[in-house]
Amino acid sequence: MGLIDPPILPIDHVLRNGDPSRPALDGRAGALDYAELEESLGRLAAWLKGFGFEAGDRVASWVAKGVVAALMPLAAPRAGLVHVPVNPLLKRAQVAHILADSGARLLIGTGARLATLEPGDMPAGCEAHSEDDTACALTGGKVLPPSDADPDALAAILYTSGSTGRPKGVMLSHANLWLGAVSVADYLKLTPNDRTLCVLPFSFDYGQNQLLSTWYAGGCVVPLDYLTPRDVIRSVERREITTLAGVPPLWVQLVELEWPAEVAARLRRLTNSGGALTRPLVARLRALFPNADLYPMYGLTEAFRSTYLPPALVDTHPDSMGSAIPHAEILVVRPDGSLTDDGEPGELVHCGPLVAQGYWQDPDRTAQRFRPSPSASHYGGMAVWSGDTVRREADGLLYFVGRDDAMIKSAGNRISPTEIEEAAVAVQGVAEAVALGVPDARLGQAVKLLLRPSAKKDGNELEERVRATLKAELPNFMQPAEIVVRKDFPHNANGKIDRAALMAEAVA
């Protein structure tokens, strides 16, 4: 851990590190070098500026993973606006919430996605523009030069699910995004010769950093909206990919496929977050990709990334989270804020300049998660108190112990059980609903939904109606793997549903 060494620049300057003549973006729509991509960025920023929005207004994007999606995280801040990327997998109810909560003035979306919105989904004063129309702005018009934004100015709001309630917006500054790119490019040892296959959504902090860290290093990004794992193999072969970021369920699928040896040998770097890798999976990845360094990582949107395990330690410490990434300070503390001893479990607290600015227009939840740093912190200031229990061993390596909240983490997605429960209870005949995350070998956790009917109803009929409603209202990654109808729920001494007892039954 060290204090800030590199200069901090506005995030839209990140393309300027690349050689103008070298490839910066390569995809189905064609390839652009750094000079061409910088010019496209300037045009998109000028187009956004032309709407006459006030500085700090929010603009949202709900688009496929193409040039517009790749440039919006840079173009909006260059225009003095705040980017709100929307997960392409979300459906109209979640999108309507994000638009209303952020107060978005503009929504850029694919035509098919925009067509799903209903009257009232768009907040007053919010304009909708198709992705195709937006892409036309890249081909001509004025070019806005790089900004001189204050590094502490808000650049993006990334919406992430909480254990209760609807998704909340994490506020990220230019400095957060810039130092995140610097940090990851540094410890991954990215170079201008690297080509990163971007399979993760750009609405995730991990997915967006695929772009920013590669560009900071002067490399080339290859966006991929893949349909099947075999699309990944084909892209690694055709696009000469060296770097691949993923989550455990993707790795499980990839190692089950037949990889041509010469294609697997092209990968030089595999990075994982969104859940721990198991020992058997680590062994299979190491065997299948002999030339690739493996980087297990741990992070949370509120502080971007916290720890990584160097490849040299993966074989000997496969269960470890590693230690702090550059520009992060990771402390393990007791409830009173004092540091734990070696081997003693405590709460992971992330301090330093990667800490976000809090939750958008949510002072109560901000106060719960963002609190003053422990007295032992070298950085001081505000810290993210993760709610995750970890332990630090004498060699400085960290190990995950457990998650204190009820968050469901499935296939790299953070899922709010409350959001699923609210959708289920809205179905006629459902009195109560409880969504649980149960262990699953492929997903990490699968959603198990428990229902209590409001009257004596046929259980199969009620389950079918709930499934149909959830398929219409919620994205695929939120769909329950199992629905169980119960006649009652256990309650604790406070009269609340005893989730701990239900979980114990579910995993018994």
β-bridge pairing 269-272 and 293-298: parallel
d(CA 272, CA 295): 6
Q: What are phi and psi of 93, to 5 degrees?
A: -65, -45
Q: Which of 154, 143, 132, 163 is nearest to 83 (CA)?
A: 154
Q: State which amino acid sits at residue 320.
A: S
Question: Collapsing DSSP states into helix, strand and coil, what is residue 346?
Answer: strand
* 39 is a domain residue: yes
Are 301 and 160 in contact, with CB atoms under 8 Å apart?
Answer: yes
User: Tell me: the pLDDT tens digits for 236-264?
Assistant: 999 999 999 998 888 988 998 999 999 99
427 belongs to a structural domain: yes
In angstroms, the CA 47 to CA 143 distance is 9
Rounded to the nearest integer, the mean pLDDT of the chain is: 92
Give tens-digit pLDDT for 9-38: 999 999 998 999 999 999 887 899 999 999
Neighbours of 349 (CB within 10 A): 25
Backbone angles phi, psi at 286, to 5 degrees: -65, -35
pLDDT tens-digit profile, the chain (508 residues): 344 466 899 999 999 989 999 999 998 878 999 999 999 999 999 999 999 999 999 999 999 999 999 999 999 999 999 999 999 989 999 999 999 999 999 999 999 999 999 999 999 999 999 999 999 999 999 999 999 999 999 999 999 865 556 789 999 999 999 999 999 999 999 999 999 999 999 999 999 999 999 999 999 999 999 888 999 999 999 999 999 999 888 898 899 899 999 999 999 999 999 878 888 899 999 999 999 999 999 998 999 899 999 999 999 998 899 999 999 999 999 999 999 999 999 999 999 999 999 999 999 999 999 999 999 999 999 999 999 999 999 999 999 887 666 778 898 888 888 889 989 988 999 988 999 999 998 899 999 999 989 876 666 789 999 999 999 999 999 999 999 999 989 976 556 788 889 999 998 8
- The answer to whether 266 and 242 are in contact (CB under 8 A) is yes
In a domain, 78, yes or no: yes
Contact 454, 430 (CB under 8 A): yes
Domain boundary among 109, 126, 149: 149
Separation of alpha carbons 173 and 224, rounded Å: 27
Q: Please say which residue of 149, 173, 193 terminates a domain.
A: 149
Buried/exposed code over 290-302 (b: 16+ C-beta within 10 A; e: otherwise): eebbbbbbbbbbb
Judge whether 209 lies within some domain. Answer: no
Q: What is the CATH number of the domain that holds 487?
A: 3.30.300.30
Assess if residue 177 is contained within a domain.
no
How long, in residues, is the chain? 508
CA distance 345 to 402: 10
Cα torsion through 456, 461, 462, 468, rounded to 10: -170
Element (H, E) at 184: helix 174-187
Assigned domain for 445 exists = yes
pLDDT of residue 274: 81
Phi, psi (rounded to 5 degrees) for 293: -80, 140
Report how far residue 389's alpha carbon sits from residue 399's, in angstroms, rounded to the nearest whole number: 9
Question: Are the C-beta atoms of residues 345 and 389 closer than 8 Å to each other?
Answer: yes
CATH number at residue 82: 3.40.50.980
Task: Map 158-173 to HEC letters.
Answer: EEECCCCCCCEEEEEE
Beta strands in 63-189 (DSSP E): 82-85, 106-109, 127-130, 154-160, 168-173
Query: In this structure, which amino acid lies at residue 271?
Result: T
**Nearest CA among 352, 351, 356, 355 for reference residue 339:** 351
Domain total of the chain: 2
Closest Cα to residue 218, out of 24, 6, 10, 9? 24
Residue 318 forms part of a structural domain: no
User: Does pTM surpass 0.75?
Assistant: yes
Cα–Cα distance between 403 and 400 in angstroms, integer? 9
Question: Which residue range is the domain that position 35 belongs to?
Answer: 30-149
Task: Give domain status of residue 365, yes or no.
Answer: no
List, in sequence order, every beta strand (DSSP E) within 266-369.
269-272, 293-298, 307-308, 323-324, 329-333, 346-351
Q: Which residues contact 508 (CB under 8 A, 6 or more apart)?
A: none
Neighbours of 191 (CB within 10 A): 13
Instruction: Give the C-alpha separation, 322 to 242, whole Å.
Output: 23
| Cα distance between residue 451 and residue 465, in whole Å | 12
Residue whose C-alpha is closest to residue 129's, from 64, 62, 223, 82: 62
In the listed set 111, 127, 149, which residue is the last one of a domain according to the structure? 149
